[in-house]
Amino acid sequence: MKKYAQRPFVLLGVNSDASVAKLKSVVKREKISWRSWYDGGTRGPISSRWNIQSFPTIYVLDHRGVIRYKNVCGEALEQAVESLVIEAEARPRNR
């Protein structure tokens, strides 16, 4: 998150833990500072609508909201995010 501060980047999470108490402990332990929604378990409305079959599932969307990557992690995730941030920074801005 620090690396992308002040850049066109947003991280959002959907949490599918069994309870709000478990979610709160994970947020505290992992120091989650980004917006994260509680989905009420693994078959909550968000997981169901997006047809999530495994956890975690990672979607990387571009600045237009188009899914460009799915289930990338580690260095591949870092490269995907960096390339899309650079792409977003290069787009013409309406003034």
Interval 20-72: pLDDT, tens: 999 999 999 999 888 989 999 999 999 999 999 898 899 999 999 999 999 99
Interval 66-89: pLDDT, tens: 999 999 999 999 999 999 999 999
Q: Where are the domains of the chain?
A: 13-57, 59-90
| 40 or 93, higher pLDDT | 40
User: What is the model's pTM?
Assistant: 0.79
Pairing between β-strand 35-38 and β-strand 59-61 as defined by DSSP bridges: unpaired
Give one DSSP letter per residue of 18-82, joined into a string.
Answer: SSHHHHHHHHHHHT--SEEEE-SSTTSHHHHHTT--SSS--EEE-TTS-EEEES--HHHHHHHHH
What per-residue confidence (pLDDT) applies to 93? 74
